[in-house]
Structure 1
Amino acid sequence: MSDTNSPEKVVVIFSGGMDSYTVLNHAIKQGYDAYALTFDYGQRHIKEITYAKSACEALNVKHKVIDISAINQIIAGSSLTDSIDIPEGHYAEESMKSTVVPNRNMILLSLAVGYAVSLEATKVFYGAHSGDHAIYPDCRPEFVNRMNDVCAIANYDAVEIVTPYLDKSKIEILTAGLKLGLDYAKTWTCYNGREKACGKCGACQERLEAFKLNNLVDPLDYE
């Protein structure tokens, strides 16, 4: 049994991007003992993973990077993992559907819940938000609600799926992070893994819009 006087353990799915970086810091500020979990699922580049490692070192957070890239032998068709051009434009555009990785969040959450059970952790945090709802079914409230139903009965101990920003926009996530004093130069969002962020893909455009609407300049360098 875990020590009842110890902080409550939670697992945070941490990509190294600004949303999950905000979620990780939110969990820490809430007083949880956070265990960050980063997945290498065969994405086109590892820049986010590199940023995730650096951020966890700076925060002194326990961190695991798990290679699950073998799933790409059976899961294909996403521009994030296959040799398909990354679309440019806003997230709401139909072309962004090419960035969907089939069943990704169900897979990642299942693994994170297994990790949580092994740690005797009670919760798994991930950074779904309202800006993702149009394109990504596995970031929508109905998905999160049903995953919570399953995770309540899948093991002897229930694990709660927590999405602090599920109904918030990226703009609001950035606002919340700025109130926490976070440095977003420590995050990477761009779907392309070049030296500088492209500024044209949906991820970049949404990030730049969030900074603009907060009357700030993104600290990342752009092409």
Structure 2
Amino acid sequence: MKDSVIIVSGGLDSITLLYDKASTIALAISFDYGQNHGAKELPFAEYHCHKLGIPHITIPLSFMHQYFKSSLLDGAAAIPEGHYEEENMKSTVVPFRNGIMLAIATGIAESHDLKRVYIANHGGDHVIYPDCRPEFISAMNGATEAGTFVNVRVEAPYTNITKTDIVRRGAALGIDYSKTWSCYKGSDVHCGKCGTCVERKEAFADAGVNDPTVYEE
């Protein structure tokens, strides 16, 4: 039964969730909030939704780029390099981004009488992203259930698993990961040095799955 909306970025995690839950998804939503890598990741969201026959829309949130502070919005040169767990990676946080996106997706879900909103945060996000943590998801779910007539639920199936687990799941689903984007710098190819690139490399290696990603030398 197609009773859900998914927030899909075009990144590895959300594309995996898209395939994982395809039979239940009535609508996929992407957001263009001025992210450095938007021109690289958003077309992949459209590609996979089209491949699966899932309706897809992209909603512009230009106010975030205008008013919010994050290196993710300030151009490639502002993106720090290193592992996600390092302190400097906090600069890539876009304040309350997932809260804003979930609120919009919930409103759209209720407008279409849909009961669930999927989001693909995972265990590796918890270190630096407050709006990816289990307690945040639980709180947002409480708010969406209480604040809608149809009691929309927020579901984040990957909250307590790793990116390695996600890669294994996607490989089993036959996903072409060359058509996903992770790098926060948004250059022609993945930089291989920013936190999300490092995590991507580690996930493929740990999962024992061939990494099809092209990285800068």
Per the normalisation by structure 1, the TM-score is 0.92
Q: What 5-or-longer segments of structure 1 have no aligned partner?
A: 1-6
Q: Deviations over 1:150-189 (max 9, x none)?
A: 1111121111101111000100111111121211112111
Deviates more, 1:180-189 or 1:65-74: 65-74
Q: Deviations over 1:80-131 (max 9, x none)?
A: 0124610111111111100000111100000000010011110000011110
Partner SS, residue 152 of structure 1: helix
1:25 corresponds to which residue?
19
2:35 corresponds to which residue?
43
Q: What 5-or-longer segments of structure 2 have no aligned partner?
A: none
| Distance apart, 1:61 and its partner CA | 1.2
1:11 corresponds to which residue?
5
The correspondence of residues 161-172 of structure 1 with structure 2, limited to 5 A, is 161-172=154-165
After TM superposition, what 4+ stretches of structure 1 lie above 6 angstroms from structure 2? none
Partner SS, residue 124 of structure 1: strand
Aligned equivalents of 2:169 and 2:47: distance in 1? 21
Count, aligned residues: 214
| Structure 2 residue 87 is matched with structure 1 residue 94 | yes
The correspondence of residues 142-161 of structure 1 with structure 2, limited to 5 A, is 142-161=135-154
| Distance apart, 1:16 and its partner CA | 0.1
Q: Is the 8 A contact 1:24 1:34 kept in 2?
A: no
| Distance apart, 1:24 and its partner CA | 0.8
Partner SS, residue 207 of structure 1: helix
Aligned equivalents of 2:17 and 2:140: distance in 1? 19
Identity %: 47
Aligned equivalents of 2:183 and 2:132: distance in 1? 19
Q: Is the 8 A contact 2:6 2:25 kept in 1?
A: no
Per the normalisation by structure 2, the TM-score is 0.95
1:177 corresponds to which residue?
170
| Structure 2 residue 48 is matched with structure 1 residue 58 | no
Q: Is the 8 A contact 1:38 1:52 kept in 2?
A: yes
